[in-house]
């Protein structure tokens, strides 16, 4: 596909940007009192309000034209029907099949049948762990689950378990991703090996960080219970049953998913086993159903009312036409505290690319830097920069209409702060005192969940997944590979022998740092 910037639709957007360059969102509300309802769209139980974005109905019409010129409807169809949309790795990206009920055949495999078999095994196993019929080697029921993964196999399950804590009634789930031994030590603190199940989640079962933690967890179990006990205490979620077997996990303890599931899109697969254990398989299936509801809307809704597309389109408008380099995700719900980190990986690993899907250098910018924080915590951290800094940022505010937990009045205070911040970013403040003035006109979207429960969480995550895919299509990049992640890991593989005292071909800068660290470890100053 040709460059998006050379299309008439892109040129029309550039001209339109110049036409409305001086527009302020607050003034657009004055000119159109119905702007709020007109720019709020429903999607699978979510309400998404774009009215505080720095755009008009004409902007949206031209963004829709760009989406059509990039054949986004065709790309959506190819995604769902199992075409090889991951072009650099020559495979489909069928994470949507993990939560649907439509038959899809990819590479001669009946994907739906595979998904249903795995889901039924998850149901049987998670139920057995929860009701105590799955016992450890000593006859003790499982009271704790240690989930080992990294990237999507860590961020997704952790997000869901934390978000659904109000309904969690199964064994406690702890998560470890960092290869720092302290992370595993902290997670194991207070756990009884006889009552602990370890879930190792890795697509390839060769991921350096995950396998280092898995080996350490296996030693912890074996030291306490013996090697023979591991079959009652270790299971795997992977696309490589053979590698899991070589590690020592029997086939009956392997919950497989297909090669067509990318790591950062894997929470819907057996990678979600810790979720099913924590909240029960029926709740996990409601999580899947919420995501599937977004899938249906993404496939069927015209671009004018297609909320995932509109989320992507406004993001492109902010990045490529308004020149905004940073995007913030601001969930005003403590149990969504892990959402910004999850979306960092989803969006920045997917679309943080500098070449097109065809391998050509891009002449346009792609994914902005993304960060965020839950609720009022961020207000006392980076909101000063947000309101008065020299760089602009776009924002997504996420609010829950019926929050759970807390004393009477607390939810109201949280909601008041969310609404106040989105208004303040829009209106700004003019006092005559330059130290107190805020420029305002900062664009934001507000996403409203009726409540934080499995279906709404699934819908929220799927909404961002499809936003990411749509943006990749508009930018002409492949959102399903992540080759940039590999370089540092390859270099780490060369450095490890040097840390063990073995000869290794190292860059002089790295050799210098190793010498410095060595002196510091011996109690020196770290200086030569």
Decide: residue 5, CB within 10 A, 0-12 exposed, 13-18 middle, 19+ buried. middle
Structural domain includes residue 445: yes
Quote the pLDDT of residue 193. Answer: 98
My answer on whether 132 and 246 are in the same domain is yes
Give all strands (DSSP E) within 291-351, no chain letters: 326-332
Q: Do 316 and 278 have their domain in common?
A: no
Query: Is residue 409 exposed (0-12), middle (13-18) or buried (19+ Cβ within 10 Å)?
Result: exposed
Please indicate, yes or no, whether residues 454 and 494 belong to a single structural domain of this protein.
no
Q: How far apart are CA 310 and CA 64, in angstroms?
A: 8
Say if 291 falls within a structural domain: no
Range of the domain at 262: 95-285
What six digits make up the tokens of 246? Answer: 């070589």
One domain, residues 466 and 499 = no
Q: Domain boundary residue among 223, 255, 285?
A: 285
| 384 and 324 co-located in one domain | yes
CATH code where residue 389 lies = 3.40.50.10490
By three-state DSSP, how is residue 209 classified?
helix
- Between 498 and 72, the more confident residue is 72
Contact status, residue 149 vs residue 443, Cβ threshold 8 Å: no
Alpha-helical (H) ranges within 32-110 are: 35-38, 57-69, 72-80
Nearest one of 206, 226, 201, 76 to 150, comparing CA atoms? 201
Identify each DSSP E strand in 38-183 by its residue range.
Answer: 40-43, 46-49, 105-106, 109-110, 144-148, 172-176
Same domain, 447 and 332: yes
Q: At residue 503, does pLDDT exceed 80?
A: no
Q: In this structure, is residue 331 part of a structural domain?
A: yes
Q: Note the maximum CA span of the chain.
A: 75
Find tokens 């902005």 and name the residue.
368
Q: Any idea which of 3-7, 278-282, 341-345, 484-488 has the lowest mean pLDDT?
A: 484-488
pLDDT in tens, 127-160: 999 999 999 999 999 999 999 999 999 999 999 9
98-109, pLDDT tens digit by residue? 999 889 988 888
Whether residues 352 and 374 share a domain: the answer is yes
**11 and 56 share a domain?**
yes
For residue range 254-284, list pLDDT tens digits in order: 999 999 999 999 999 999 999 999 999 999 9
Residue 201 — very low, low, confident or very high, per pLDDT cuts 50/70/90?
Answer: very high
How would DSSP label each residue in 174-191?
A: EEE---SHHHHHHHHTT-
457 and 396 together in one domain: yes
Does this model's pTM top 0.85? My answer is yes
Does 405 have pLDDT greater than 80? Answer: no
Evaluate whether residue 414 is within a structural domain: yes
Residue 464 lies in a domain: yes
Residue 72 CB neighbours (<10 A): 21
One domain for residues 30 and 174: no
| 202 and 326 belong to one structural domain | no
DSSP SS3 for 67: helix
Looking at the domain assignment, is residue 290 inside a domain?
A: no
For residues 152 and 281, is the Cβ–Cβ distance under 8 A?
A: no
- Please report which helix (H) or strand (E) contains residue 125, including its range: helix 111-131
| 527, part of any domain | no
Measured between alpha carbons, how far is 441 from 388 in angstroms, rounded to an integer?
11
- Phi then psi for residue 86, to 5 deg, are -85, 85
Domain match, 353 and 451 both: yes
**CA nearest 398: which of 443, 448, 444, 442?**
448
Q: Which residues are bridge partners to 205 per DSSP?
A: none
Local confidence band at 487 (pLDDT 50, 70, 90 cut-offs)? confident
450 inside domain: yes
Residue 42: pLDDT band with limits 50, 70, 90: very high
- Residue 481 pairs with which residues in a beta bridge? none
User: How many structural domains is the chain composed of?
Assistant: 3
Give catalytic residue positions: 349, 380, 489
The whole-number average pLDDT for the span 27-45 is 97
Query: What is the distance between the terminal CA atoms of the chain, rounded to a whole angstrom?
Result: 55
């Amino acid at each position: 596909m040709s460059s998006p910037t050379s299309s008439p639709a892109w040129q029309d957007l550039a001209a339109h940007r110049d036409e409305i360059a001086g527009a302020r969102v607050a003034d657009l509300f004055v000119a159109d009192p119905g702007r709020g309802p007109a720019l709020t769209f429903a999607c699978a139980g979510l309400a998404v309000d774009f009215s505080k974005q720095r755009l008009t109905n004409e902007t949206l019409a031209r963004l829709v034209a760009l989406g059509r010129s990039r054949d986004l409807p065709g790309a959506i169809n190819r995604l769902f029907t199992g075409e090889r949309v991951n072009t650099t790795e020559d495979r489909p990206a069928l994470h949507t099949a993990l939560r649907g009920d439509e038959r899809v055949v990819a590479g001669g495999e009946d994907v739906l049948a595979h998904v249903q078999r795995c889901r039924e095994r998850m149901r049987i196993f998670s139920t057995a762990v929860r009701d105590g019929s799955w016992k450890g080697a000593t006859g003790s029921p499982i009271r704790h689950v240690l989930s080992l993964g990294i990237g999507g196999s860590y961020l997704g399950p952790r997000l869901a378990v934390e978000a659904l804590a109000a309904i969690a009634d199964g064994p406690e789930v702890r998560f470890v991703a960092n290869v720092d031994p302290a992370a595993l030590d902290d997670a194991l603190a207070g756990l009884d090996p006889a009552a602990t199940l370890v879930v190792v989640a890795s697509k390839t079962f060769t991921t350096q960080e995950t396998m280092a933690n898995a080996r350490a967890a296996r030693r912890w179990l074996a030291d306490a219970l013996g090697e023979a006990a591991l079959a009652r205490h270790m299971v795997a979620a992977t696309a490589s049953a053979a590698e899991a077997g070589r590690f020592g996990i029997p086939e009956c303890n392997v919950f497989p998913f297909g090669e067509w599931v990318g790591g950062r899109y894997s929470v819907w697969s057996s990678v979600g086993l810790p979720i099913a254990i924590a909240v029960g398989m029926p709740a996990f299936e409601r999580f899947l159903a919420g995501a599937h509801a977004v899938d249906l809307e993404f496939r069927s809704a015209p671009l004018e009312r297609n909320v995932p597309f509109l989320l992507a389109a406004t993001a492109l408008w902010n990045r490529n036409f308004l020149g905004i380099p940073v995007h913030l995700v601001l969930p005003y719900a403590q149990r969504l505290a892990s959402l910004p980190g999850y979306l960092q990986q989803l969006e920045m690993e997917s679309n943080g690319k500098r070449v097109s899907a065809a391998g050509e250098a891009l002449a346009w910018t792609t994914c902005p830097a993304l960060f965020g924080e839950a609720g009022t915590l961020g207000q006392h951290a980076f909101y000063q920069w947000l309101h008065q800094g020299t760089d602009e940022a776009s924002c997504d505010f996420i609010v829950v209409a019926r929050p759970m937990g807390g004393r009477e009045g607390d939810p109201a205070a949280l909601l008041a702060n969310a609404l106040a911040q989105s208004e303040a970013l829009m209106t700004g403040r003019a006092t005559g005192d330059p130290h107190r003035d805020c420029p305002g006109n900062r664009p934001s979207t507000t996403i409203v969940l009726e409540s934080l429960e499995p279906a709404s969480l699934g819908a929220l995550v799927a909404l961002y997944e499809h936003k990411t895919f749509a943006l990749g299509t508009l930018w002409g990049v492949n959102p399903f590979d992540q080759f940039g992640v590999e370089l540092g890991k390859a270099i780490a593989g060369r450095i490890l022998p040097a840390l063990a005292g073995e000869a290794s071909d190292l860059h002089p800068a790295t050799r210098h740092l190793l010498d410095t660290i060595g002196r510091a470890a011996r109690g020196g100053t770290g200086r030569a």
